[in-house]
């Protein structure tokens, strides 16, 4: 992707989709596809508003019907839908693939790149982002945390991905291009599999993850179980998954007010990614015969909390 004004399609314009789409719009022609009709309408009428660490109103094209993209060609398609919606989103966008776009997943969870790899003859990139945000309301997302992005090929070459990585850097999203991105993916995955469900159980109050001794012990036990499963799978690590937690505990990193995406999902009464995160660890642990009692208990509690939030929010 070396064109001067690349055409980028962002599939999923929630918190991270909105942040990425708005950033890319400064150096690319950006279209977003999202099934939230009210959100799309607000973006069409007023632009995509980002507040918090990034303050802008981005001019992007917004659609809620994938068929309206017929005849359009893109240089890259970035998947930022919830993990469980990846297959549906990919299938709905098959008609815009003939131009051989780079397929990029920057999603949480495992298995998203496997879904994209089923689409033949297209380069596929996998990335891990430590950015964070939240969906505020129609047409509006908040940027809560700025950090590093890692990106590399899952099918194709580094050169296939280089142009998109350079674009992210030009747009202010610090990105490291890697020959093999899976070390970074696994490191972030373990962090998310531990901290996201705990954050949900603590109602998004981040201080409770760090100031309560019993919760610190719970986090450490979960991390130990997740790491045991990952190592049994031969997972590489680009960095220590729990290093940010230790740095916040010892005061060398400030504590963010971001309690994790699962907590935000629970607050909205919408499904979380627990099955694609901690649930993945439990399925692999069972297959490998590894005991993960702490992860199992937290997983069960989050499933119950997810259901309770849906009922309370009027979305049973």
Residue with tokens 């995509």: 48
Burial of 195 (0-12, 13-18, 19+ CB in 10 A): buried
CATH code for residues 184-312: 1.10.1040.10
pLDDT score at 38: 98
How far, in Å, CA of 138 to CA of 148, rounded? 27
Domain ranges of the chain: 7-180, 184-312
Fold of 7-180: Rossmann fold (3.40.50)
Distances (CA, A) of 240 to 182, 205, 259, 289, 308: 13, 24, 20, 24, 34
DSSP code string of 216-251: HHHHHHHHHHHHHHHHHTT---SS-TTHHHHHHHTT
Encoding tokens for residue 169? 């850097």
Tens digits of pLDDT across the chain (316 residues): 656 789 999 999 999 999 999 999 999 999 999 999 999 999 999 999 999 998 999 999 999 999 999 999 999 999 999 999 999 999 999 999 988 999 999 999 999 999 999 999 999 999 999 889 999 999 999 999 888 999 999 999 999 999 999 999 999 999 999 999 999 999 999 999 999 999 999 999 999 999 999 999 999 999 999 999 999 999 999 999 999 999 999 999 888 888 899 999 999 998 999 999 999 999 999 999 999 999 999 999 999 999 999 998 765 5
Closest CA to 22 of 153, 139, 103, 123: 139
pLDDT score at 1: 63
């Amino acid at each position: 992707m070396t064109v001067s004004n690349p055409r980028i399609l962002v599939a999923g314009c929630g918190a991270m989709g909105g942040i990425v789409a708005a950033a890319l719009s400064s150096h690319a022609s950006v279209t977003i596809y999202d099934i939230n009709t009210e959100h799309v309408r607000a973006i069409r009428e007023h632009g995509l508003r980002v507040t918090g660490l990034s303050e802008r109103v981005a001019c992007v094209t917004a659609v809620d019907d994938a068929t309206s993209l017929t005849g359009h060609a893109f240089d890259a398609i970035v998947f930022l839908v919830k993990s469980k919606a990846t297959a549906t989103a990919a299938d709905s966008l098959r008609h815009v693939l003939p131009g051989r776009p780079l397929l990029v997943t920057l999603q949480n969870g495992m298995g998203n790149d496997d879904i994209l790899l089923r689409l033949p003859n297209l380069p596929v990139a996998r990335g891990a982002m430590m950015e964070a945000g939240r969906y505020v309301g129609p047409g509006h997302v908040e940027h809560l945390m700025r950090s590093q992005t890692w990106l590399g090929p899952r099918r194709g070459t580094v050169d296939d991905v280089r142009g998109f990585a350079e674009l992210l850097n030009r747009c202010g999203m610090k990105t490291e291009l890697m020959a093999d991105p899976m070390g970074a993916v696994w490191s972030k995955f373990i962090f998310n599999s531990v901290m996201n469900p705990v954050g949900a159980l603590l109602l998004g109050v981040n201080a409770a993850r760090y100031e309560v001794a019993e919760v610190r012990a719970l986090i450490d036990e979960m991390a130990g179980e997740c790491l045991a499963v990952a190592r049994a799978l031969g997972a590489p690590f680009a960095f220590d998954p729990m290093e940010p937690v230790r740095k916040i505990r010892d005061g060398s990193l400030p504590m963010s007010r971001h309690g994790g995406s699962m907590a935000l999902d629970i607050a909205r009464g919408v499904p979380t990614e627990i099955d694609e995160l901690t649930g993945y660890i439990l399925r692999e642990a069972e297959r490998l015969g590894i005991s993960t009692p702490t992860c199992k208990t937290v997983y069960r509690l989050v499933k119950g909390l997810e259901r309770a939030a849906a009922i309370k929010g009027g979305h049973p």
